[in-house]
Amino acid sequence: MLTLGVALGLLATVIIASPAMAAKAYMTDKSDQLVVVVHGTSSTEALSKKELIDIYMGRFKNFPNGSTATPIDYFKGSNQRKAFYQLLVGKSERKIDAYWSRLLFSGRATRPNKATSVAEIQQELQQNPSAIAYINAANVTEEMKIVYQFD
């Protein structure tokens, strides 16, 4: 029989680990794997995780080569958004929203553009050469270039 202390310890472990487990469970097969893409004609060939963090966390507004970066984010509550930020910075969606609230209040950064669907992201990537987005590998089209792939 479990003691109250052991049971609480197990519960705490599950609660703490659940965002990471959710991100891992989301990407069970390769077609569900999140990748980061840019417009096919972009001069950006690859990004490091640090560069990606700088763009998506509002630290930089440009790609490493100096061209403008326009990050696109999924809507709040989407599985892709939850998995992306867990994989990128190890934070829950709630913590990311709190982070952005502080940045927006201070006026130091602009939040990534929001998209409500894969089709909207695909359209934005086709029309905007400065766009950058995360998307399931299965949804990458010929007009896109993969610049980062999560392990």
122-142 residue pLDDT tens: 999 999 999 999 999 999 999
| C-alpha 13 chain-centroid distance | 24
Q: Is 82 helix (H, G, I), strand (E, B) or coil?
A: helix
Question: Does the pLDDT of residue 55 top 70, yes or no?
Answer: yes
Task: Read off the pTM.
Answer: 0.77
Identify the residue with better confidence: 44 or 26.
44
What is the separation, in whole angstroms, between the first and last Cα of the chain? 39
Question: What pLDDT score was predicted for residue 56?
Answer: 94
Q: pLDDT-based confidence at 60, cuts 50/70/90?
A: very high
Could you tell me if 48 and 146 are in contact, meaning their C-beta atoms sit under 8 angstroms apart? no
Angle at 139 between CA 111 and CA 28, to 5 degrees: 95
Could you tell me if 123 and 144 are in contact, meaning their C-beta atoms sit under 8 angstroms apart? no
Q: Is 110 helix (H, G, I), strand (E, B) or coil?
A: coil
Question: What pLDDT score was predicted for residue 82?
Answer: 95
Identify the residue with better confidence: 81 or 16.
81
Which among 46, 69, 44, 41 is positioned nearest to 149, based on CA atoms?
Answer: 46
51: its two tokens: 């560069």
pLDDT tens-place string over residues 1-30: 544 454 445 444 444 444 444 444 444 455
Identify the residue with better confidence: 103 or 36.
36
Cα gap 97→127, rounded to integer Å: 27
Identify the residue with better confidence: 150 or 106.
150
Residue type at position 13 = T
Q: pLDDT-based confidence at 102, cuts 50/70/90?
A: confident
Give the mean pLDDT of 49-77: 94
Which among 86, 64, 95, 101 is positioned nearest to 134, based on CA atoms?
Answer: 86
